[in-house]
Amino acid sequence: MTILKSDEKNVSCYWHAGISNSLLIFKVETSTPPEALLTRNELLTESPYLSDTVMKSAIAKEDVLPNAMIRDILVANQQSAKSSEVMDKLNERFIPMPDPMMGEILAGQTQISAKEILEGKIAAHELKRQNLFSNLVRSYKSDTINISSQDSLILMLQGETSLKSKYLLTFEFLGIDDTAQVINTLNSIPGNFTLNGARQAIHNDYIEYFEILLGLKSENKLILELDSVQINTLMDLVISGHEPVKSYSRNILLANQLTEHYEPILLPEVNNPSGSRPITISEQQTPNTYFRLYPNPTNQYAIIEYYLAEYSNSQNSSIFVITTQEGKVIDRIIVNKKQDQFILNTTGYIPGTYLCSMFYEGKILQSQKFTIIR
């Protein structure tokens, strides 16, 4: 008796609900330096619901997205600070994230992001539905009075769209000796679900497990009448199989007194999920240099990186003033941090030469010319 096994070629479709996420990753990975501002704005538009994969892709595009842009993206997605993979990727950047900006990102470790709140609500609804579903299954299976209860259970499972329900349905068909439906249900799973990685391995375990049960059924044997081949297969599933088939197989071996099992005691792990470095304040600017503006010349945006040693508290503020060569004020940007980087959007500027000046407490500290080209 043979049950078809699926492989990568047998997966019917990789198109799933997360395709928009895949497209966003594709856009990030194929972006070029001239598209930096566009890419950053698109990621901010999708925030605060970016996946870890999208954020890691953005962090890896160091030639396109500088630290200031990455900081904006990760701060907008506070859940990033709780992901060790995202933080490890951030620490791999060739130009390290400045410590004060890293501190802004790590602040998300003590906050609950909008994405986490939404995921919590979804998980609560899914848990409630799962509990109701489990109660229905339990009610049908324990009903020994209504002769149609098993038919009702099978009908309900056939209407469910989850992978778990299909395996439950397979067990129900086995219980009524409908071996053809057992095989058909198992063989239909790869065509209706995306099986990759662990899912594919679990499905293969189910196939081996049901082959044993169907073999016993065809010979009118009980699970206490295993042959040597079946015993070896069950032992292999216990050693290298995946849950829940691993436990199913161990239970049969326990019933046959062919193995021993002691429930493990699981202790919580205490560690730092971020893998981040400690926060320190570095004074990278010289006393006579308060800010840097780059790239220069620029096109769509410039980064202004500043450090103000005289800054004392949050009530004080610095002002960056952008003027034309004739002295006409184009922009005023107020900042309230001692050290930072921010994006100056120049897409609305006419090509030419401009002057960026930094003021603090009414005094001009530094000026720098920069050129916009198209």
pLDDT digits (tens, 9 = 90+) for 328-354: 999 999 998 888 999 999 999 999 999
Residue 18, SS3?
coil
**Mean pLDDT across the chain:** 85
Give the Cα separation of 89 and 72 in Å (integer).
16
| Domain spans, the chain | 17-111, 145-255, 291-372
Q: What pLDDT band is residue 17 in, cutting at 50, 70 and 90?
A: very low
Per-residue pLDDT at 6? 43
* Domain 291-372: homologous superfamily in CATH: Macroglobulin (MG2) domain (2.60.40.1930)
Give SS3 for 260: coil
Mean pLDDT of 291-304: 92
* Token pair 């073999």 in the structure block, residue: 215
352-360 vs 363-372, strand pairing mode: antiparallel
Cβ atoms 253, 238 nearer than 8 A: yes
Each residue of 232-278: pLDDT tens digit? 999 999 999 999 999 999 999 999 988 887 777 777 665 555 444 54
Q: Using an 8 Å Cβ cutoff, are 105 and 74 in contact?
A: yes
- Of 80, 68, 83, nearest to 37 by C-alpha is 68
pLDDT score at 236: 94
CA atoms within 13 A on the CB side of 34: 3
Would the CA dihedral through 122, 124, 128, 134 be positive or negative? positive
